[in-house]
Amino acid sequence: MEPETFLGALDDERIVAAIRAAEARTRAEIRVHVTHAEVADAASAGAAAFERLGMTATVERNGVLLFVAPASRACAVLGDTAIHERCAEGFWAAVAEAMAAQFRAGRFTEGILAGIEAAGAELARHFPRREGEADTNELPDTVSRD
């Protein structure tokens, strides 16, 4: 995926709407981050972004980051400690691979939407909304970039 093509093809409005829809079913948080930098290892770079973006600041430690590095043709999906304990490592890799398959087909927004849907379904299973309790949106729903 060429970075300019990828970045120009992203539909931030659809991505934000998907994040909000997924978060409406869960107490957890989902973020999408796209880096312009080339990275040697998407998981390591994603973990650094996870920290930098304050993903560990959620009360229940149940945030998920979809990290995309188009210049390196790589992506990773990372979960904070509470959700990671409930999902095997293979789950995150499978979500990232599903995203990458869409990216290879030139469907960049759809790849991110697929990742959000898969992560959201898993988060809703483990951290469903509680009846009668207000939910605080702890992290921005925007697509962040660096």
Quickly list DSSP for 102-134. HHHTT-HHHHHHHHHHHHHHHHHHHSBPPTT--
Q: Apex CA 111: angle with CA 71 and CA 113, to 5°?
A: 125
Dist. CA 125–CA 138, nearest whole Å: 19
The per-residue pLDDT for 134 is 80
The domains located in the chain, with CATH, are 3-128+139-145 (3.10.310.50)
The per-residue pLDDT for 13 is 96
pTM above 0.85, yes or no: yes
| pLDDT per position as a tens digit, 8-46 | 789 999 999 999 999 999 999 999 999 999 999 999 999
